[in-house]
Structure 1
Amino acid sequence: MILATVKRDGGDIEEITISGHAHAAEYGKDIVCSAVSAISFGTLNAVHALLGITPQVEQAEREGGFLRWRLERTADQAVHEKQQLLAESLVVSLYSVSQQYGTFLTVHDTKWQGGATT
């Protein structure tokens, strides 16, 4: 199972950790792992390309996979808000996948547990 955990300070995301392997299908055909990889790396690439920030990422091949993104505080409030929006988008996307494939992906986040909040 893949576990995604979101660490927050107030409402801001400080860190997103994704670990494990879905085991939804054989290697190379696992659509849950593919979705999680595409969502996470697509978001990190967007942060770099759109905001000019090199994300602080730790990754390893342990327990099927491991990725930790520690969001940097930026002095520019507009850039900070955009980075937070991209991070929230990542979490919402993962949460959406977990709604369909909850046996293979669990998302722990105080903001999105139980669905979107206003």
Structure 2
Amino acid sequence: MIKIKFLKKNERIIYFEITGHANHGEYGEDIVCSAVSSVSQMTLNGLLEILKLDGRLQYEETEGYIVCDLDKSDLTDDEIEKSEILIQSMYSYLKAVKESYGKYVEIRVREV
């Protein structure tokens, strides 16, 4: 199962963590893993390459694991606001994946 955790502060997502594998299909053919991986990679790439936050964004990425912590990053208010758009888009997409494949995806949202 893929486990996704979001932390919110003042209604803004400030942290996300994605772990695990869906095990919906064979390795390389698992559409649930592909969907979650694609949107999380797209979001992280947008933060790093489009918003140019590389070097200041606190994140970690390994096989089956991705974490991003805006709260611990050295970002301006404007950069956080722009980051929020990307992360909210990812959140919206992941909710849709969960609606279709809830047996393979767990999403937790916590206010801090």
For the aligned pair, the TM-score class normalised by the smaller chain equals 0.7 to 0.9
* Structure-2 residue corresponding to 1:60: 62
Q: Calculate percent identity across the aligned residue pairs.
A: 34
Give the CA deviation at 1:73.
5.1
1:44 maps onto 2:44 in alignment: yes
- TM-score norm. by structure 2 comes to 0.86
Give the CA deviation at 1:40.
0.2
* Contiguous gaps of at least 5 residues in structure 2: none
1:50-99 alpha-carbon deviations (Å, 9 max, x no partner): 211124221334xxx11111113522x33221111111111111111111
* Structure-1 residue corresponding to 2:68: 69
Give the letter aligned to residue 59 of structure 2.
V
Q: Detail structure 1 runs of 4+ shifted over 4 Å in the superposition.
A: none
For the residues of structure 2 that align with 1:73 and 1:97, how far apart are their CA atoms? 31
Other structure's SS at 1:109 match: strand
Number of equivalences: 107
Task: Considering Cα pairs closer than 8 Å and 6+ residues apart, tell me whether 1 or 2 has the greater RCO.
Answer: 2
Q: CA RMSD in A?
A: 1.6
* Structure-2 residue corresponding to 1:115: none
For the residues of structure 1 that align with 2:94 and 2:21, how far apart are their CA atoms? 14
For the residues of structure 2 that align with 1:33 and 1:99, how far apart are their CA atoms? 15
